[in-house]
Every structure is written in structure tokens, then in C-alpha cells.
Amino acid sequence: MKTLLGLFLIATLWLTSAAEPTATKELRPFATAQPLALGEARWTSGFWAERFDLCRTNMLPGMGRLMEGTNYTQFFHNFEIAAGLAEGKYRGAPFNDGDFYKLIEAASASYATSPNDFFDRNLDRAITVIAQVQREDGYIHTPVLVAQRNGDTNAAPFKDRNNFEMYNLGHLMTAACVHHQATGKTNLLAVAIKAAEFLVTTFSNSSPEVARSSVCPSHYMGMVDLYRETGDRRYLELAKKFFELRSQIKDGGDDNQDRIPFERQTSAMGHAVRANYLYAGATDLFMETGDTNLWRPLEPIWHNLIEEKMYITGGCGALYDGASPDGSKDQKNITRVHQAYGRNYQLPNTTAHCETCANIGNVLWNWRMFLATGEARFIDVAELALYNSVLSGVSLNGTNFFYTNPLRVTDPLPTELRWSRQRVPFMSSFCCPPNLVRTIAESTEYAYAKSADAIWVNLYGASELETELPGVGKVKLAQETEYPWNGRVRIRVTETGGKEFALKLRIPGWAKSAAVRINHRPTQISSMPGSYYEMRGAWKAGDIIDLDLQMDTELIEANPLVEETLGQVAIKRGPIVYCLESVDLPRGVRPLDVNLPSDIKLRARYDQRLLGGVVVLEGTAFARTNANWSGQLYRELKTSKPAPIKLRLIPYSVWANRGLGEMSVWLPLARE
């Protein structure tokens, strides 16, 4: 091990210079806003601080133990075998490398705001092995390298277009950039740079067939991340080439969004995770190049998603299995698609797929669309997904996970489904849990942004911000709020150089009204919901800005073309979508027996003892006893006198934390 460590340190020192910028660069020159540097903001208390602490204390250590072990499958052990430190065969999905890189990214992001020796030591230990795995030419993908080490002469790079090599390399690059920013170390960045050099060489004279290996394209984001971190413009040029090559593919399909060139796409189609990653990568590349061919498809695709294909929870990918383009006359072009977006308005509830990764992809894309435009509508969508379909993916103890996130659960289910309706510690496709961990670890990234002379406040949560604005200098802010449980927010200016700059407060699209006070004096607010309210001035330490958002409970109906929710409503308060669980109903009453009066009065009450502390909604509804439907598809309408019942609704994100039971987001309206 001394020899291994010595060689590793020598290699790291030799490659340190490669991590230095090779050219002066302006990051995101075609963006309106810029993200904060890692660690410039941190949660201090309340909703997001509790989830960040859970991530740091439970999720990260638990996932680290799982990924180092071999009980379910292999993650780190595959690297050990590929490095020659152990004997054995590769086990697991071909994307296990990428999932392990996500864990490294999450631990690095956590370290940036909460440094500790445990994370630092274990990151270095893992990176040492990863560096030894990498071939001299920079290629690294343990399924192939383990097979080669075990004598498989057929194992070769990019031989199997569904082997997730580019997906894994993309996550390696992003993780390396986050690790470098968090720790200042170049050991993982050196691995990523070496891998990028392999790709530069491989794609120098490549064909569209090689580009067809880009299944689940995290590498667009990863390559642009590496360009931003190093300043090496060749990596940006390579990202551009990736897009050019995918538009030349002749045998593509919607399962990987390459049936038609990206520039001609107008709707969200195919595999939802791969689609959202593609859209996020295209937005990243647009912000660096200003290429209108990349931007032009994004607006119509976004509108198609928001107006015709997204769940009320921000979930994406309605179908377990679909066909795309569904119903096409040209049947030879129809692709079998896993976790498909499906048709417009095709949003089933019981069989909703809504993979956690797709929902996270929705956040990644909308965050980038916000940076590009500075428009609040994109943060509205990101916030919706974060509070609902993303956080629903993990249990309150941080150790059990959902792969899919249905909006209704019945007992029995109408059809056998392949993913559990209970959160579990492991599933065979383990991409979502480490994706969730890195999302929570990096959640402060979405709270604020900045531009030349402005701070953008995007997500509300008790937090502290310390950053620098060009021409303004250091700015420190402290945010105090119990959001999302109420809409009162206070922002204190704790340090500034006294120069003029703007504070831009997001007025969420769900807010009926908003009021702002500066140093306790009301201001005239003209911004509409779904926009930013700008306050410009020479702020000084001690200044206080109060924002009050009207947070009403609303009954929401769907477009009547969403056939499954006709005559039903969902309940939403602020950014939180609510649901009804059978555990909160009288014995013998099921969620689908419950009818809501259209004028129901729901009282919001914070219950500290329930589900870690949540606001519940309480009121009076009606329950109708439905006769046994066994063996019947249709029957004559039967009426029964409804009985009043006490109703309690909980946030959707925390359902299934109290044992087995039924659940529904959509509830029938009472017959008048």
C-alpha cells in the first residue's frame, strides 16, 4: 500500500498543473445569473437544514457502508478488482461506477459546508483506488476493465452501446469538479482530466455510431463542468461535437432521444431521465456558446412538459413502459421506451413511474434554464419537484428509498408492478439513492444566485450567504424563516461595503399576493407572482427586508384531457402537495371512499410530533361506502348517504413513513 500511495501522490503532483486554467474564460457568458461558489451559502435551521443534517449524519455514512460492501451488489469492490487489489468478477448494473461517483460528489459537497476528517480520509482512500484503476490512455470503466483483467478478449471500450460508459464518465467529471472546489485537492480532478483526454483522442475522428454509446447523457453536463473548472476550451469543443454527432445518428430511437436531431425536437419524449439530462446538458452548452440551435428546442419542450406531461408533484415519466412516437403511421420508427414520458395528458396515478432520477433531472434542467434567463417560472418548477417528487424518494430516517413515486396506492394494486410501494434500502437499479444524496448535499446551490450587481433569492429557507459581487465587494446575508410551513421571510444584511446592489426576491407563482417591508416600512410591490421583485440600494449592515407571501390552501383540478383525474381534486398549500393516507382514516374507510366538498374548509396546523414536524391540513369531508367490486368491471350506479368524517392530509413527500397502507393525492369531489 505504501508503494501504491507513493505512486499515486507522484501522479497527483505531476498532474496538478493540468488542473490550472489554460485560458482566461468567462463562465456562462450567455447566462443572466451565475450560481454561487460551493460553500458560499449554508442552511442554518429549519426544513432544509434538517434534511442536510440527515444527509450528512445518516444518508452519506449509510450509503458509504452499502457501496463499500458486497451484500447486494458491488460498487467500490468493482474498482478494487479492476485495480488488481482483489480477485473476482464484476457484479452489478453497468452504471454502478457512476452511482459511486455520485456518492463522492455528495460527500464532497457536504464537506464544503461541514468539513470533517472522516469524509476527507475516505474520499482520499476511494480516489487512490480509482486512480489506480484508470488505464494509461485515460479510459476508466470497471465493467470492461474487470472483464479484461479476467481474460475476456472481447471486452473493449464502446463496444456495447448500452454499457453506460459515457454516463459514468460524465458523473466522474462532475464529481471531480465538486471535489476540487470543496477540498482544493486535485487527485480526482487529475483522473477526470486524464479521462477527458481519452475522449478528446477517441472522438477526434469518430463516427455517429460511437456517439450512439451516449446512453443517459450525463456527459454533456460533466464535460462542460470540466471546461469551467479547468478553462481548457478543448473540453467545450468536445461537448459541442457530442451534440453534432448525435444529430447524425441514423438508427436512433426515442429511448435515447436520438430518433430525430435535437434541433428538430419540440416535445418531451422518450425515457424521462435521459431526456431531462439531455435538456440540462443542452442548456449548459447554450450558456457557454450562445448557440441558438441548442436554445430553440428548449422552450417548446419545456412548455410541452409543464403544460401537458408533468405531474402536479413535479414528477416526470408517466409510464413504466411506453412506445414512442406512440401511434405513428411509420411503425418501424416506434421505440420501446422504459419510464416513458408518454402521450400528452397521459398521467396515470396508481401506475405512475416518476423515477426519482427523472424528478431530479427536472430540477437540474430548470435550474439551468433559470440561470440562462433569470426567469422565476423555472425556479417555480424546480421548487415544486424538490419539495414533493424528489424528497418523496427518501424515508425520514434517510436509509430507505423509492425508485418510483406513484400518486396513488391501493390494496390490492390493479396490476403487478416491478418496484416496491415501500421504501427499501436497496433496489437493483440503485441510481436514485446516490442522486438524492448529492441533491440534498448540494441543495444550497439552488437557494441563491448572483449577477454583476445583484443577489437573487430563489428558495426560501433559514440560511446564511457570504459572497462577492464584482464592483461591490463582500456581501453577507442571513435569512430567517419557517418556510415552507408559512410564507414569512426575513433577510438581514450582516455585512456589505456600502455600495449599491440589488436584491431580487422571487415571488412564487403560487402566491396570490406578496408584501415587502424594508426596515419595517412597507414598500409598493408591483411584481406579479412568478417573477422577481427587485430592490436596489446602498445596503448597509443591519438592514432588514421582510417578505410576506400569502400561502393559501387550494383545491387543484387537472385539465379535463387528463382522463384519470376527472371529477377529482388535489390539495396544495404553497409549494407543498398534500395526500391522504389510510392510516389517518377511520377503520373501514379507504382514501378512494373519501369525497371532498368543493367548499371544504381546511385548517393548516403545525404538528411537531408527526413525521418529524409537518403542517397538516384538517377539515371535514364525506365517506361513501362502496360495495365490493370483485369480479365487476361495470355495474348500475349505487348511491349511499355519505357520512361526515374528520380529514387529515399530510405532505406527499413524507407518505409511507408509517407502515403499509393506501394513499392518494387526487380525491373525488362530493356530488352536489
Contact (Cβ atoms closer than 8 angstroms) between residue 207 and residue 168: no
Q: What is the pLDDT of residue 6?
A: 36
Q: Who contacts 417 (Cβ-Cβ below 8 Å, separation ≥6)?
A: 320, 351, 404
pLDDT at 214: 79
Q: Give 370-429 pLDDT, tens digit per residue.
A: 999 999 999 999 999 999 999 999 999 999 999 999 999 999 888 888 888 899 999 999
Q: Is the peptide bond preceding residue 522 cis, with omega within 30 degrees of 0?
A: no
pLDDT in tens, 574-632: 999 999 999 999 998 999 999 999 999 999 999 999 999 999 999 999 998 777 888 89
Q: What is the mean pLDDT of residues 506-510?
A: 97
Q: Is 142 helix (H, G, I), strand (E, B) or coil?
A: helix
* C-alpha dihedral, 218 to 222 to 223 to 227, nearest 10°: 160
For residue 5, is pLDDT > 90?
no
| Whether the Cβ atoms of residue 446 and residue 458 lie closer than 8 Å to each other | yes
Give the largest Cα separation in the chain, rounded. Answer: 80
Measure the CA–CA gap between 457 and 440, rounded to whole angstroms: 18
Q: What is the DSSP string of 547-611?
A: EEE---EEEE---TTSGGGTTEEEEEETTEEEEEEGGGS-TT--GGGEEB-TT---EEEEETTST
Helix axes 117-133 and 2-15, enclosed angle (nearest 10): 90
Calculate the average pLDDT of the chain.
92
Structure confidence by residue, pLDDT tens digits, 143-177: 999 999 999 999 999 888 889 999 999 999 999 99
Residue 527 confidence (pLDDT) above 80 = no
Structure-derived torsion over alpha carbons of residues 228, 232, 236, 237, reported in degrees to the nearest 10: 170
Average pLDDT over every residue of 82-108: 97
CA dihedral 612, 616, 620, 624 (to 10 degrees): -60
Angle at 649 between CA 644 and CA 654, to 5 degrees: 155
Residue 111 to residues 174, 185, 360, 442, Cα–Cα distance (Å): 16, 13, 21, 11
Q: How many CB atoms lie within 10 A of CB 411?
A: 10
Report residue 524's pLDDT band, with 50, 70 and 90 as the boundaries: confident
Q: What is the pLDDT of residue 25?
A: 60
**The one-letter amino acid at 118:** F
Considering the segment(s) 449-549 as one domain, its CATH architecture is Sandwich (2.60)
Distance CA 172, CA 383 (A): 27
Helix (H) or strand (E) holding 620: strand 614-623
Q: Name the amino acid, one letter, at 44.
A: T
CA distance 35 to 290: 18
pLDDT at 668: 95
The amino acid occupying position 624 is R
Please give the pLDDT value at position 17. 37
Residue 639, all three cell numbers: 348511491
Distance CA 161, CA 165 (A): 9
663, pLDDT greater than 70:
yes
Q: Bigger pLDDT: 480 or 208? A: 480
- CA atoms of 376 and 509, how far apart (whole Å): 8
Mean pLDDT, range 649-667, rounded to an integer: 97
Query: Quick one: 477 exposed, middle or buried, by C-beta within 10 A (0-12, 13-18, 19+)?
Result: buried
pLDDT at 231 over 50: yes
Average the pLDDT over 82-98 and give the result.
96
> Which grid coordinates are listed for 196?
477527458
Residue pLDDT, tens place only, 297-355: 999 999 999 999 999 999 999 999 998 888 888 788 888 898 999 999 999 999 999 99
pLDDT of res. 1: 34
Computed on alpha carbons and rounded to an integer, the radius of gyration of the chain in Å comes to 25
Tell me the C-alpha to C-alpha distance, in Å, between residue 387 and each of 111, 156, 209, 313: 23, 42, 40, 8
Whose grid coordinates read 419542450?
301
Q: Residues 498-504: what's their mean pLDDT?
A: 94
| % of the chain residues with pLDDT over 90 | 81
pLDDT at 559 over 90: yes
Q: Name which of 20, 170, 39 is nearest 108 in CA terms.
A: 39
CA 2 to chain centre: 40
Alpha-carbon span 568 to 559, nearest angstrom: 11
| Alpha carbons 249 and 32: distance in angstroms, whole number | 33
Q: What is the pLDDT of residue 672?
A: 62
Give one DSSP letter per residue of 378-391, joined into a string.
HHHHHHHHIIIIIG
Neighbours of 182 (CB within 10 A): 23
pLDDT for 63 equals: 96
Cβ atoms of 218 and 167 closer than 8 Å: yes
The pLDDT assigned to 13 comes to 33
- On whether the CB atoms of residues 417 and 366 are closer than 8 A, the answer is no
End-to-end CA distance of the chain: 76
Phi, psi of 128 (to 5 degrees): -55, -45
Confidence (pLDDT) at 324: 86
Tell whether the torsion through CA atoms of 53, 58, 61 and 66 is positive or negative.
negative
Q: What is the pLDDT of residue 206?
A: 75
pLDDT of 629 reads 84
Confidence band for 213, pLDDT divided at 50, 70 and 90: low
- The confidence score (pLDDT) of residue 640 equals 80
Pairing state between β 501-507 and 454-457: parallel
Tell me the average pLDDT across 218-230: 97
> What pLDDT score was predicted for residue 254?
87
Say which residue the cell 392518494 belongs to: 664
Q: What distance in Å separates the CA atoms of residue 220 and residue 97, rounded to the nearest whole number?
A: 17
Instruction: Supply the DSSP symbol for 36.
Output: P
All cell numbers assigned to 549 = 407571501
| Domain assignments of the chain as residue spans, ordered by start | 449-549, 553-668
Q: Which of 265, 277, 280, 266 is nearest to 365 (CA)?
A: 280
Q: Which of 137-146, 325-334, 358-367 has the lowest mean pLDDT?
A: 325-334
Average pLDDT over residues 93-114: 96
pLDDT higher than threshold 90 for residue 365: yes
Residues 6+ apart with CB under 8 A from 298: 279, 282, 283, 286, 369
Per residue in 440-476, pLDDT tens?
999 999 999 999 999 999 999 999 999 999 989 999 9
β-pairing, 667-668 vs 514-518, is unpaired
Q: Is the pLDDT confidence value at 256 over 50? A: yes
Kindly give the pairing relationship between strand 603-607 and strand 594-595.
unpaired
Q: Which three cell numbers stand for residue 614?
A: 409537518
